Chain A
Amino acid sequence: MKVRGRVALSGGGVAALVLLAGFALLPLAQQPFVTRIGTGIFILALATISLNLLVGYGGLVSFGHAAYFGAGAYAVAILSHYGTHRGWIAFAAAVGGSALLALILGAASLRVRGVFFIMITLAFAQMLYHLSTAVEKLGGDDGLRVVPNSFGPLFLGERITLYYVSLGLLCAGLVISDRLVASHFGRVLVGIRDNERRMRSLGYNPYHYRLLAFVIAGALAGLAGALEANLDAYASPELLHWSISGDLLVMLVLGGSGSIVGPLFGAVSFQLVQQVLSGFTSHWMLYFGPALVLIVFVSRRGVAGLFAGTRPHHVRGGR
């Protein structure tokens, strides 16, 4: 429990490493279907990591995270539409564009609290969704076709390449969120979540920290969106739809909100459940709902909570 500079892995951290190692070996099975699903999981996990910074550590239940995910995808698609396929440029535009969007929407949304915050984040995201369906230049309902990006010799149109790039960025996302939460900034953010009034009286302005968390989360979600555009070879309004925001929240709660590795477990279990249940019935959500309630009931910290092992206390510590 005593951590000085060194990383002490919890049970959940070990389980996550095992899981990631398994994913690294998975393409050896040579199943295109599996690699495609795997890539999808990594991307959703990355988006959920970013949402976790807001919900799990910032205490900010954003119901509009699809906005940044979709914006990242559209940034790549728009550049592609105008003939720019270079990875660095496209990804920088996706990350930067989403961060800027988060700055603007966050600055407005963070003025209100509680249920109003949930509503306003949802409203902004839906506005973007409708905007994307209405604007001809963005392809309207059909969206925009994307020519996959290249990073030098790495061509993301190759299934395996995209698989490993996504896996790598997921790992980076896990490390980044781990460091961020344990940093000076991170503990102020968590402190504000725990006791805002106390933090004000210590001299912190919660608004600044929350807004910055918003921007960082937006950037990370934009990165996930850029990968999604490459995976689908498409950016469509679906990516901005509220149901994406909802799915991300479900994955977060399922995996363990406020746990670094929770988003990974959440995305994996969500996809597994979806694949298995949708094989039996098209109304799989009907069964998934109660299952989710059950899981949260058994372990308040989601799947990650099942591994908590030696650190039973609090949402903050799990890695």
Chain B
Amino acid sequence: MLRVRGLSKRFGGFVSNADIDLDIEPGEIHAVIGPNGAGKTTLVNVIAGDLRADAGEILLDGHDVTTLPTHRRARAGMGRMFQITSVLPSFTALENVAIAAQARGRSFRFWHRANADRDLNQRAEMSLARVGLSHQASALAGEMGHGEHRQLEIAMALVAEPCLLLLDEPTSGMSGADSVALIDLLRTISETTAILLVEHDMDVVFSLADRITVLASGRRIACGTPPEVRADALVQQVYLGAGATAAPAMAEHA
């Protein structure tokens, strides 16, 4: 589904991603973890097209997308959720999702009220229902809470039926109950969609991921199944050595 080879990204002299390889199979949930500043968000941005890679190549479904602009990659099936909430504040939740759904259809329509487009609204309602946000359908996105924004972003990504979903810390700021519901949802989604999951919560990572890639200082230091990664000496050293909040959780699962 996704194949990344030798990917590098520098900011001035600072190397944020160095020579990274990553493979995501259809239906796989592939977690990317690492300490703060490891380069996880940078990697997602380069894959999504918001940042241009300095070196390396990115293949989506066998097609080279390394130089494609963001919107072309989205049309090729990449769905995205940002680490820092990114919604359309002056539209309602339903409209946010409908606009996302509309991207796959025809948007060069100038006269009919888009709000009255039954087909789009129905798809948007279904997507909102999937993430448990139906009750907020007519709330302005700009006035919703943080946890709801996370759900809304997922609804926006899902409605386009992507083949690859890029999620940057989807559960951050969510209540416990909501994140449990989200984990269930991700499991369902992964039956049809490959997922790249950046996540700090190790409970989420170890319960969901088929494989895990560990980044530290922009480099890939490990990649494998959860048990393999857990047993990896280098990984333990990075996490325990850094004294990161994730360390206890890692130990717990070990």
Q: A: which residues have CB within 8 A of B?
A: 2-5, 179-180, 182-188, 190-191, 194-195, 197-205, 209, 212, 313-316
Contact = CB atoms under 8 A, between A and B. Distances in A.
A185 B50 contact: no
A185 B99 CA distance: 10
Contacts of B50: 197, 200-201
A114 B50 CA distance: 19
Contacts of B116: 4-5
Contacts of B112: 183-184
A231 B75 CA distance: 49
B38 to A, nearest CB: 22
State the main secondary structure of chain A at its contact with B.
helix
Interface string B104-137: 1011111111111100000000000000000000
Interface string B50-79: 100000000000000000011100110000
A197 B86 contact: yes
Which of A4, A200, A205, A212 counts the most chain B CB atoms within 10 A? A200
A315 B88 CA distance: 13
A314 B140 contact: yes
A183 B111 contact: yes
A203 B79 CA distance: 9
B89 interface: yes
Contact of B91 (A187, A205, A209): A187
B99 to A, nearest CB: 5
Contacts, number: 111
Given A5-B113, A182-B114, A204 B103 contact: yes
B138 A2 contact: yes
Contact of A185 (B86, B110, B160): B110
B223 to A, nearest CB: 26
Given A187-B95, A188-B107, 19 more contacts: A182-B114, A183-B112, A184-B117, A185-B107, A186-B114, A187-B99, A188-B99, A194-B89, A195-B87, A200-B70, A201-B48, A201-B74, A201-B80, A202-B100, A203-B74, A203-B75, A204-B71, A205-B69, A313-B142
A182 B115 CA distance: 7
A66 B187 CA distance: 57
Top 9 closest pairs, chain A to chain B, by CB = A203-B74, A203-B103, A314-B90, A184-B109, A200-B70, A201-B80, A184-B114, A203-B75, A198-B86
A202 B99 contact: yes
Contacts of B74: 200-203
Contacts of B107: 184-185, 188, 204, 209
B156 interface: yes
A5 B100 CA distance: 21
B96 to A, nearest CB: 9
A124 to B, nearest CB: 26
B159 to A, nearest CB: 10
A212 B86 contact: no
15 contacts: A179-B110, A180-B110, A183-B109, A183-B113, A184-B110, A194-B89, A198-B82, A198-B88, A199-B88, A201-B71, A203-B74, A203-B104, A203-B160, A204-B71, A315-B90
